[in-house]
Copies of this chain bind each other. A is one copy, B any other.
Amino acid sequence: MFSLNEKCAVVGIFNVSNAAKYAYYSLFSLQHRGQEAAGIASSDGEKIYITKDRGLVTQVFDEKKLKKLIGDSAVGHTRYSTAGEDSVLDAQPIFARYDLGQIAVVHNGNLTNAKEVREKLIKEGAIFQTFMDTENLIHLIARSDKEHLYDRIIDSVKKIEGAYSMIFLSRKKMFAIRDPYGFRPLSMAKLEDGYVVASETCAFDLIGAEYIRDIKPGEMVVFEKDKEPRSIQVFEPNPHKCIFEYIYFARPDSDIFGKSVYDVRVKMGRELAKEYPVEADMVIPVPDSGIAAALGYSKESGIPFEMGIVRNHYVGRTFIEPTQEIRDLKVKMKLNPIKELIEGKRLVVIDDSIVRGTTSKKIVKILKDAGAKEVHMRISSPPTTGPCYYGVDTPTKDELIASSKTIQEIRDFIGANSLAYISIEGLIRSVGDDLSYCMGCFDGNYPVPNKN
């Protein structure tokens, strides 16, 4: 059964005046991780306040709504668009009253035993009012027989499996925790006398917070007034960080898992150039995510980099479909090649991934229509052969073109003159020869089995 926590962002603000405003700005800088819904819960030490709704951060909140979110601590969330339910009920934070008082939770990731846990809880009499995995956590916490929330969180996360970077807000404290694999990122920073926790470091830059370190896989950090943040290593770390954060999700100006996203992407491009060189006139990225890798490919190969495709950023939801077909309209609305530049040229085109292959096919087509002599697709990730169970909204295995077609067949399908994907080894070299990454969607080695 589907869950609704995939590809999101979380933030937490602790001990900073107008915490909700800082949460708001932080979420704004993490908007690229989820445009479906947004929410913030704040605490003034006595009570928890919450606002959440469908829409962009700037649409969900206005001055009046932010003013009601009083207090010095806050957690926030942006949710990624999913095909199914679009109910406001499935926005985060989740808020609940339970035996220890009030609690709000935000969650980035996906539980692989959500169904099992939910069914067990339901069998024990729990009711589920949302379709979010996160609801499981609050039930587990409420049902734990430990005295303190601190122990209950530990108790509860021991019962769940999968990916989670979560922040819990109680009336007086805040708890940030990452699963033992560290699938999804989570960093902490200092802001005035308080602290900020966020999915990406670009959030810190906007509000002027100073990066301290990442929350470690399996670590929980407890934030309490007039105390230093306390760390407890709840689980033995078994790092399997999501390498797709580098390939596609994160903003290039963020540090993820301690490394510059931009820098890693440039290296991917360099590796691609080493592994799959080709004689060509220029390297062009599919903007915006392919830019850094294209620069890397260009640097390594010596083939000039050009911004051969322009992206239109005004694309919204309410676009009107043409009555009579304008060919390839949806891709052309976003991407338009610079004809004069590419006409008669041999292009290396850098994209981050190929999912179903249909978009790549259209990109090759508009480039060839614009006069490109050759189109050599180079992909800065290995072939995506399997779905992700840890919080990325991938289609089913059947829909993934690389699950059933050879690279040659994919090349034929998309119509490129050549096609190459970075090797897993090349990818690992890009991130620094560190083997602590999850690459289940490439190699089928899933560190945690999916039971849903």
Interface positions of A (Cβ within 8 A of B): 17-18, 21, 24-25, 28-29, 31-32, 50-51, 53, 56-59, 61-63, 66, 87-89, 94-99, 118, 122-123, 125-130, 138-139, 142-143, 202, 205-208, 251-253, 255, 260, 262-263, 291-292, 295, 299, 304-307, 309-310, 312-314, 316, 318-320, 322-324, 326-327, 329, 332-333, 336-341
Contact = CB atoms under 8 A, between A and B. Distances in A.
A129 B127 CA distance: 11
- Copies of this chain in its oligomeric complex: 4
A165 B299 CA distance: 43
Given A57-B314, A66-B320, A208-B326, 14 more contacts: A50-B89, A63-B320, A96-B129, A97-B118, A98-B128, A99-B123, A99-B125, A125-B142, A205-B339, A206-B329, A206-B333, A207-B326, A295-B305, A305-B305
Contacts of A123: 99
A125 B100 CA distance: 10
A210 to B, nearest CB: 11
Contacts of A18: 322-324
A292 B320 contact: no
A327 B25 CA distance: 13
Contacts of A339: 205, 253, 255, 260
Contacts of A28: 312, 314, 319, 333
Contacts of A24: 320
Contacts of A324: 17-18
A260 B57 CA distance: 37
Chain B CB within 10 A, most for which of A118, A126, A143, A295: A126
A284 to B, nearest CB: 11
Sorted nearest first, the 4 A-B pairs with minimum C-beta distance are A260-B340, A125-B143, A96-B127, A253-B310
Contacts of A122: 97-99, 142
Given A89-B89, A97-B122, A62 B320 contact: yes
A205 B127 contact: no
Chain B CB within 10 A, most for which of A118, A208, A299: A208
Contact of A126 (B31, B98, B205): B98
Contacts of A318: 58-59, 62
B56 A316 contact: yes
Contacts of A304: 299
Nearest to A205: B336
A205 B318 CA distance: 21
B25 A322 contact: yes
B127 A206 contact: no
A320 B62 CA distance: 7
B262 A340 contact: yes
A316 B58 CA distance: 7
A301 to B, nearest CB: 14
26 contacts: A21-B323, A24-B320, A50-B89, A59-B316, A59-B318, A61-B320, A62-B318, A62-B320, A94-B129, A96-B127, A97-B127, A98-B122, A125-B139, A126-B126, A126-B142, A205-B332, A206-B329, A251-B310, A252-B307, A252-B310, A253-B337, A253-B339, A255-B340, A260-B340, A260-B341, A262-B341
A339 B255 CA distance: 9
Contacts of A322: 18, 21, 25
A21 to B, nearest CB: 6
Given A305-B295, A324-B17, A327-B208, A338 B95 contact: no
Contacts of A17: 324
Contacts of A57: 314
A38 B68 CA distance: 23
B263 A340 contact: yes
A332 to B, nearest CB: 5
